Protein backbone atom coordinates (compact mmCIF):
# COMPACT_ATOMS: atom_id res chain seq x y z
CA UNK A 1 0.00 0.00 0.00
CA UNK A 2 3.03 2.27 0.38
CA UNK A 3 2.61 5.49 -1.60
CA UNK A 4 -1.14 5.07 -2.02
CA UNK A 5 -3.67 7.62 -0.78
CA UNK A 6 -6.55 6.92 1.60
CA UNK A 7 -9.50 9.19 2.38
CA UNK A 8 -10.98 8.33 5.77
CA UNK A 9 -14.13 10.21 6.72
CA UNK A 10 -14.71 11.15 10.36
CA UNK A 11 -11.07 10.44 11.11
CA UNK A 12 -10.13 13.01 13.74
CA UNK A 13 -11.01 10.55 16.50
CA UNK A 14 -12.30 7.06 17.29
CA UNK A 15 -12.16 4.24 14.76
CA UNK A 16 -11.37 6.65 11.91
CA UNK A 17 -8.34 8.11 13.69
CA UNK A 18 -6.84 4.70 14.55
CA UNK A 19 -7.43 3.59 10.96
CA UNK A 20 -5.70 6.69 9.58
CA UNK A 21 -2.70 6.01 11.84
CA UNK A 22 -2.53 2.37 10.71
CA UNK A 23 -2.51 3.48 7.06
CA UNK A 24 0.18 6.06 7.82
CA UNK A 25 2.33 3.41 9.56
CA UNK A 26 2.29 1.53 6.26
CA UNK A 27 3.39 4.56 4.23
CA UNK A 28 -0.08 5.47 2.93
CA UNK A 29 -0.79 9.20 2.53
CA UNK A 30 -3.95 10.09 4.44
CA UNK A 31 -6.76 12.55 4.00
CA UNK A 32 -8.34 13.36 7.36
CA UNK A 33 -11.97 14.49 7.08
CA UNK A 34 -13.93 16.20 9.84
CA UNK A 35 -16.75 18.75 10.06
CA UNK A 36 -14.44 20.99 12.06
CA UNK A 37 -11.68 22.51 9.94
CA UNK A 38 -9.13 23.11 12.70
CA UNK A 39 -9.58 19.57 14.10
CA UNK A 40 -9.13 18.06 10.62
CA UNK A 41 -6.00 20.08 9.91
CA UNK A 42 -4.48 19.50 13.37
CA UNK A 43 -5.05 15.73 13.14
CA UNK A 44 -3.53 15.60 9.65
CA UNK A 45 -0.49 17.52 10.87
CA UNK A 46 -0.04 15.22 13.89
CA UNK A 47 -0.15 12.11 11.69
CA UNK A 48 2.32 13.64 9.22
CA UNK A 49 4.77 14.42 12.02
CA UNK A 50 4.38 11.06 13.74
CA UNK A 51 4.59 8.78 10.71
CA UNK A 52 6.37 10.85 8.05
CA UNK A 53 3.70 10.47 5.37
CA UNK A 54 2.05 13.26 3.43
CA UNK A 55 -1.34 14.20 4.82
CA UNK A 56 -4.22 16.56 4.17
CA UNK A 57 -6.88 17.79 6.57
CA UNK A 58 -10.18 18.72 4.95
CA UNK A 59 -13.31 20.19 6.47
CA UNK A 60 -16.31 18.40 4.99
CA UNK A 61 -19.78 17.43 6.09
CA UNK A 62 -20.19 14.13 4.26
CA UNK A 63 -23.95 14.65 3.95
CA UNK A 64 -23.39 17.73 1.75
CA UNK A 65 -22.73 17.02 -1.94
CA UNK A 66 -20.81 20.28 -2.44
CA UNK A 67 -18.47 19.50 0.50
CA UNK A 68 -17.81 15.99 -0.79
CA UNK A 69 -17.00 17.32 -4.26
CA UNK A 70 -14.47 19.78 -2.81
CA UNK A 71 -13.00 17.01 -0.63
CA UNK A 72 -12.21 14.85 -3.66
CA UNK A 73 -10.99 17.84 -5.70
CA UNK A 74 -8.55 18.79 -2.94
CA UNK A 75 -7.37 15.21 -2.49
CA UNK A 76 -6.75 14.73 -6.21
CA UNK A 77 -5.05 18.13 -6.47
CA UNK A 78 -2.58 17.12 -3.76
CA UNK A 79 -2.12 13.39 -4.40
CA UNK A 80 -3.26 12.93 -8.06
CA UNK A 81 -4.87 9.57 -7.22
CA UNK A 82 -7.03 8.11 -4.47
CA UNK A 83 -6.84 4.34 -4.08
CA UNK A 84 -8.70 3.88 -0.78
CA UNK A 85 -11.92 5.32 0.67
CA UNK A 86 -13.13 4.45 4.16
CA UNK A 87 -16.70 5.61 4.76
CA UNK A 88 -16.43 5.85 8.52
CA UNK A 89 -18.20 9.10 9.52
CA UNK A 90 -21.28 8.21 11.52
CA UNK A 91 -23.56 9.47 14.25
CA UNK A 92 -26.29 8.17 16.54
CA UNK A 93 -29.50 9.95 17.59
CA UNK A 94 -31.17 7.24 19.65
CA UNK A 95 -34.84 7.17 20.56
CA UNK A 96 -37.64 4.64 20.67
CA UNK A 97 -39.71 4.60 17.48
CA UNK A 98 -42.72 6.39 18.97
CA UNK A 99 -40.52 9.26 20.20
CA UNK A 100 -38.17 9.48 17.28
CA UNK A 101 -38.25 12.89 15.69
CA UNK A 102 -38.09 13.43 11.94
CA UNK A 103 -34.88 15.41 12.47
CA UNK A 104 -33.25 12.47 14.31
CA UNK A 105 -34.15 10.10 11.48
CA UNK A 106 -32.94 12.53 8.81
CA UNK A 107 -29.66 13.42 10.54
CA UNK A 108 -28.62 9.77 10.94
CA UNK A 109 -29.68 8.67 7.45
CA UNK A 110 -28.09 11.72 5.85
CA UNK A 111 -24.68 11.28 7.48
CA UNK A 112 -24.42 7.49 7.79
CA UNK A 113 -26.01 6.45 4.48
CA UNK A 114 -26.23 9.41 2.11
CA UNK A 115 -22.72 10.48 3.18
CA UNK A 116 -21.30 7.11 2.14
CA UNK A 117 -23.24 7.29 -1.14
CA UNK A 118 -21.90 10.77 -1.95
CA UNK A 119 -18.29 9.84 -1.12
CA UNK A 120 -18.49 6.55 -3.04
CA UNK A 121 -19.92 8.33 -6.09
CA UNK A 122 -16.96 10.70 -6.19
CA UNK A 123 -14.50 7.90 -5.39
CA UNK A 124 -15.53 5.64 -8.27
CA UNK A 125 -14.94 8.48 -10.74
CA UNK A 126 -11.35 8.86 -9.53
CA UNK A 127 -10.69 5.14 -9.03
CA UNK A 128 -12.13 4.13 -12.43
CA UNK A 129 -9.41 6.18 -14.12
CA UNK A 130 -6.69 4.01 -12.57
CA UNK A 131 -8.80 0.82 -12.68
CA UNK A 132 -8.07 0.21 -9.01
CA UNK A 133 -9.83 1.00 -5.78
CA UNK A 134 -10.74 -0.15 -2.31
CA UNK A 135 -13.95 1.18 -0.74
CA UNK A 136 -14.61 0.10 2.83
CA UNK A 137 -17.87 0.99 4.56
CA UNK A 138 -18.20 0.94 8.33
CA UNK A 139 -21.53 -0.71 9.09
CA UNK A 140 -22.55 -2.16 12.47
CA UNK A 141 -23.71 -5.35 14.11
CA UNK A 142 -27.12 -3.70 14.62
CA UNK A 143 -27.70 -3.88 10.86
CA UNK A 144 -27.97 -7.64 11.41
CA UNK A 145 -29.56 -8.00 14.84
CA UNK A 146 -31.44 -4.70 15.33
CA UNK A 147 -31.29 -2.65 18.52
CA UNK A 148 -34.11 -1.08 20.49
CA UNK A 149 -33.78 2.69 20.35
CA UNK A 150 -31.88 2.70 17.07
CA UNK A 151 -34.49 2.46 14.32
CA UNK A 152 -32.69 5.21 12.39
CA UNK A 153 -29.14 3.97 13.00
CA UNK A 154 -29.84 0.28 12.30
CA UNK A 155 -31.69 1.18 9.09
CA UNK A 156 -28.80 3.38 7.96
CA UNK A 157 -26.27 0.59 8.58
CA UNK A 158 -28.40 -2.10 6.91
CA UNK A 159 -28.72 0.26 3.93
CA UNK A 160 -24.95 0.60 3.90
CA UNK A 161 -24.54 -3.18 3.70
CA UNK A 162 -26.91 -3.38 0.71
CA UNK A 163 -25.17 -0.43 -0.93
CA UNK A 164 -21.81 -2.17 -0.43
CA UNK A 165 -22.99 -5.19 -2.43
CA UNK A 166 -24.54 -3.11 -5.22
CA UNK A 167 -21.50 -0.87 -5.75
CA UNK A 168 -19.30 -4.00 -5.59
CA UNK A 169 -21.27 -5.45 -8.53
CA UNK A 170 -21.29 -2.20 -10.50
CA UNK A 171 -17.55 -1.51 -10.23
CA UNK A 172 -15.88 -4.92 -10.10
CA UNK A 173 -14.99 -4.60 -13.78
CA UNK A 174 -13.02 -1.41 -12.97
CA UNK A 175 -10.86 -3.16 -10.41
CA UNK A 176 -12.68 -1.54 -7.49
CA UNK A 177 -13.60 -3.73 -4.53
CA UNK A 178 -16.28 -2.65 -2.07
CA UNK A 179 -16.60 -4.27 1.34
CA UNK A 180 -17.95 -3.50 4.77
CA UNK A 181 -16.70 -3.93 8.31
CA UNK A 182 -19.43 -4.40 10.91
CA UNK A 183 -18.15 -3.57 14.40
CA UNK A 184 -19.92 -4.77 17.51
CA UNK A 185 -19.49 -2.77 20.71
CA UNK A 186 -16.29 -0.73 20.36
CA UNK A 187 -14.99 1.59 23.09
CA UNK A 188 -15.15 5.11 21.62
CA UNK A 189 -16.83 8.45 22.34
CA UNK A 190 -19.92 7.05 20.58
CA UNK A 191 -20.35 4.24 23.12
CA UNK A 192 -18.89 6.02 26.18
CA UNK A 193 -22.11 7.99 26.50
CA UNK A 194 -24.28 4.86 26.93
CA UNK A 195 -25.61 4.16 30.45
CA UNK A 196 -23.61 1.61 32.51
CA UNK A 197 -26.62 -0.72 32.59
CA UNK A 198 -26.67 -0.93 28.80
CA UNK A 199 -22.91 -1.56 28.75
CA UNK A 200 -23.25 -4.41 31.27
CA UNK A 201 -26.03 -5.99 29.17
CA UNK A 202 -23.90 -5.71 26.05
CA UNK A 203 -20.90 -7.33 27.74
CA UNK A 204 -23.01 -10.37 28.66
CA UNK A 205 -23.75 -10.85 24.94
CA UNK A 206 -20.07 -10.99 23.94
CA UNK A 207 -18.47 -14.47 24.05
CA UNK A 208 -14.96 -12.98 24.06
CA UNK A 209 -15.95 -11.08 27.23
CA UNK A 210 -14.57 -7.68 26.34
CA UNK A 211 -15.55 -4.64 24.36
CA UNK A 212 -13.72 -4.14 21.09
CA UNK A 213 -11.01 -1.54 20.54
CA UNK A 214 -10.57 0.86 17.65
CA UNK A 215 -7.47 -1.19 16.83
CA UNK A 216 -9.59 -4.35 16.39
CA UNK A 217 -11.69 -2.56 13.77
CA UNK A 218 -8.76 -0.83 12.06
CA UNK A 219 -7.04 -4.24 11.61
CA UNK A 220 -9.98 -5.50 9.53
CA UNK A 221 -10.11 -2.29 7.50
CA UNK A 222 -6.40 -2.52 6.68
CA UNK A 223 -6.82 -6.14 5.60
CA UNK A 224 -9.58 -5.22 3.14
CA UNK A 225 -7.55 -2.28 1.82
CA UNK A 226 -4.52 -4.42 0.93
CA UNK A 227 -3.77 -5.01 -2.76
CA UNK A 228 -3.65 -8.72 -1.83
CA UNK A 229 -7.35 -8.61 -0.83
CA UNK A 230 -8.38 -7.97 -4.44
CA UNK A 231 -10.49 -11.13 -4.78
CA UNK A 232 -12.77 -10.14 -1.89
CA UNK A 233 -15.71 -7.92 -2.78
CA UNK A 234 -19.28 -7.35 -1.58
CA UNK A 235 -18.45 -8.90 1.79
CA UNK A 236 -18.95 -7.96 5.41
CA UNK A 237 -16.29 -8.68 8.03
CA UNK A 238 -17.82 -8.83 11.51
CA UNK A 239 -15.60 -7.51 14.31
CA UNK A 240 -17.75 -8.12 17.37
CA UNK A 241 -16.13 -10.63 19.74
CA UNK A 242 -18.67 -13.26 18.70
CA UNK A 243 -21.69 -11.15 19.66
CA UNK A 244 -23.31 -12.10 16.35
CA UNK A 245 -22.23 -15.09 14.27
Q: Which of these ranges, 70-78, 82-90, 120-128, 200-208, lies near ligand NAP under the rule CB under 6 A?
A: 82-90
Residue 44 and residue 100 in contact, taking contact as beta carbons nearer than 8 Å: no
Determine, following the binding rule CB under 6 A, whether residue 190 of this chain makes contact with ligand NAP. yes
Residues 85, 137: Cα–Cα separation, whole Å: 8
- Using CB under 6 A, which residues numbered 89 to 108 contact ligand NAP? 89-91
Burial label for 210, CB within 10 Å (0-12, 13-18, 19+), is exposed
CB of 201 to ligand NAP, least distance (A): 14
Q: Which stretch, 21-29, 95-103, 123-131, 188-196, contacts ligand NAP (CB under 6 A)?
A: 188-196
Cα three-residue angle 20-146-34, rounded to 5 degrees:
25
State the number of binding residues for ligand NAP (CB under 6 A). 30
**Options 24, 56, 85, 111; binder of ligand NAP; rule CB under 6 A:** 111
When the beta carbons of 149 and 175 are compared against ligand NAP, the nearer one is: 149
The Cα angle at residue 5 between residues 239 and 68, in degrees rounded to 5:
85
Of 50-58, 88-96, 196-204, 225-233, which segment contacts ligand NAP by CB under 6 A? Answer: 88-96
* Residue of 29, 55, 63, 150 that binds ligand NAP (CB under 6 A): 63
Q: Which stretch binds ligand NAP (CB under 6 A): 9-17, 167-175, 202-210, 223-231?
A: 9-17
Q: Say if CB 29 and CB 47 are below 8 A apart.
A: no
- Residues in 195-224 that interact with ligand NAP by CB under 6 A: none
Element (H or E) spanning 33, and its range?
A: strand 29-34
The reply to whether 159 sits near ligand NAP by the rule CB under 6 A is no
The distance from CA 109 to its chain's CA centroid, rounded to whole angstroms, is 14
Active site residues: 153
Torsion 168-236-4-63 (CA) sign? positive
Among candidate residues 123, 135, 117, the one with its CA nearest the CA of residue 230 = 135
**Euclidean distance between CA atoms 164 and 208, whole angstroms:** 28
Which residues contribute to the site for ligand NAP (CB under 6 A)? 9-10, 12-16, 33-36, 60-63, 88-91, 111, 115, 138, 140, 183, 185-186, 188-191
Amino acid sequence: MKGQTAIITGSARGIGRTTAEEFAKRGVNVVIVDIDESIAKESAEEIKEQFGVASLGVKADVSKPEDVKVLFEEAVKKFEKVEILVNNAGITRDNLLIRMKDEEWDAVLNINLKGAFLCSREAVKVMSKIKYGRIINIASVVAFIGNAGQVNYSASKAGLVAMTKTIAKEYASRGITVNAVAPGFIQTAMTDKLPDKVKEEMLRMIPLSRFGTTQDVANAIIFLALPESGYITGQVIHVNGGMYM
